[in-house]
Amino acid sequence: MKETLVATLLLAIVTIVPTQAQMSEWPCPVDTEIYPCICTADEELNLELDCSDATSTEQLGEAFAGTNFPFTDFKSLTIKPDAAAPQLNSLPAGVFGPTTYQEIYISNTYISTIEEETLANSHGTLSMLDLSSNEIDVFPFETLDLFTVLREFNIANNRATTLPNIVSDTLVTLDLSGNIGLILTETTFVSATRLENLYLRNMELGTEGLNEIPPNVFQNKYLTILDLSENVISGQLIEDFINPVQRPLVLVNLDDNQIADIHPTAFGTEARVSLRSNEITLLSRDNWEGLLDQVNNDDAIDLRGNPLTCGCDVYWLVLNSDTLLNKIHSETTCDAGTLLTDLPIEWFNEHCP
């Protein structure tokens, strides 16, 4: 009799108390309903959703379809699998159901297409959109102006092939690096009115006849950081290559290009300019004094890794070691390995006019 009663009570308890798989912590939805996504809440009850375990676009959609979300406003969505799933290859409209996000991080996937309405629910909430390192070749750039609080957009290292004019009154940071073949025009960034940080690494910019950099493309009035490293920019940088309209840049990165010289007014800026690992051999006074006169900081112009001949072309620098030479990075060397700062003025006095 006692054994029967105990068994009945145990059955009742199991029936009433949900299993661990069915449980969730408020204010998240029930775990099993959003599988394979995982919902967590921080100390301030901001909801974060991680769908990194999704193995297909269909499975991801099922996690949101018909789910009873107690709250639909999430702080973040993350899809960063350790190993990319080939069947998770697109983000169609409606895939995220009724949910909205402030931040989205999607990387290391085979996703190639993001439709125009995929992120429509987050037009008024999204401040960070990180889509770096996927296979994206279709993205609705023309909808960026609909994101009314978007400040950072990173679509680096994808396969995007077309780039309309970027239109946004809120975007501060834009990273298009690694999308080889995107064509810039004079108006590409004109309507990104608050743009401060622009990253265009490894895009084959400067390819003659294919992806040349047009004049006046970098005249955004708030531009602060411009990264053009690892491209194929060659020859002499043209007049007003970078000419900010309103305030001077802080950093221009032109490392790992094929630049041989600069026009004396190539940089209308007081910025630090990094020209590491280019093909600069001569530092003629006519072309370089203007740039050095503009900058105020020591080590502001980085010429390390260039094949500098350090002949009579640098005599004027050696003569002005305290006012101009000090503005070139102190570890810059001649092609033979001698530091610019170690060049003996006596030699130049004797051998150079």
SS3 sequence of 298-338: CCCEECCCCCCCCCHHHHHHHHCCCCCHHHECCCCECCCCC
* Cβ burial, residue 47 (10 Å; 0-12/13-18/19+): buried
- In the block, residue with structure tokens 């007049």: 239
Confidence band for 207, pLDDT divided at 50, 70 and 90:
confident
Give the pLDDT of residue 313: 97
Q: Which residue has the higher pLDDT, 263 or 269?
A: 263
Q: Which residue has the higher pLDDT, 320 or 212?
A: 320
The amino acid at 72: T
Q: What own/partner pairs with CB < 8 Å and gap ≥ 24 does 335-338 have?
A: 335/281, 335/306, 335/307, 335/308, 335/309, 335/310, 336/310, 338/310
Q: Which residue has the higher pLDDT, 245 or 351?
A: 351
In 3D space, the residue among 265, 301, 261, 300 whose CA is nearest the CA of residue 281 turns out to be 261
Cβ atoms 166, 142 nearer than 8 A: no
| Cα 220 from Cα 234, distance rounded (Å) | 23
pLDDT over 90 at 156, yes or no: yes
Give the pLDDT of residue 296: 87
Q: What is the pLDDT averaged over residues 52-74? A: 93
Question: What's the pTM value of the predicted model, to 2 decimals?
Answer: 0.90
Q: What is the pLDDT averaged over residues 85-97? A: 97
Q: What is the pLDDT averaged over residues 143-172? A: 97
Q: Which residue has the higher pLDDT, 267 or 326?
A: 326
Q: Report the chain's mean pLDDT, rounded to a whole number.
A: 90
Domains and CATH numbers, the chain: 1-160 (3.80.10.10)
73 Cα distance to chain centroid: 26
pLDDT over 50 at 41, yes or no: yes
pLDDT over 80 at 308, yes or no: yes
pLDDT over 50 at 9, yes or no: no
> Lowest mean pLDDT: which of 152-156, 267-271, 307-311?
267-271
In 3D space, the residue among 57, 47, 146, 61 whose CA is nearest the CA of residue 97 turns out to be 61
Q: What is the pLDDT averaged over residues 246-262? A: 90
What would the pLDDT profile of 310-326 be if each residue is shown by its tens digit? 999 999 999 999 999 99
Cβ atoms 232, 225 nearer than 8 A: no
Confidence band for 245, pLDDT divided at 50, 70 and 90:
low
Q: Which residue has the higher pLDDT, 19 or 263?
A: 263
> Lowest mean pLDDT: which of 9-13, 48-52, 157-161?
9-13
Q: What is the pLDDT averaged over residues 138-146? A: 96
Query: How many percent of the chain have pLDDT more than 90?
Result: 76
Residue 224 φ/ψ region, left for φ over 0, alpha for ψ in the -120 to 50 degree band, beta for the rest: alpha
Give the pLDDT of residue 239: 82
Give the pLDDT of residue 13: 39
Q: Which residue has the higher pLDDT, 353 or 198?
A: 198
In 3D space, the residue among 216, 225, 266, 221 whose CA is nearest the CA of residue 247 turns out to be 221
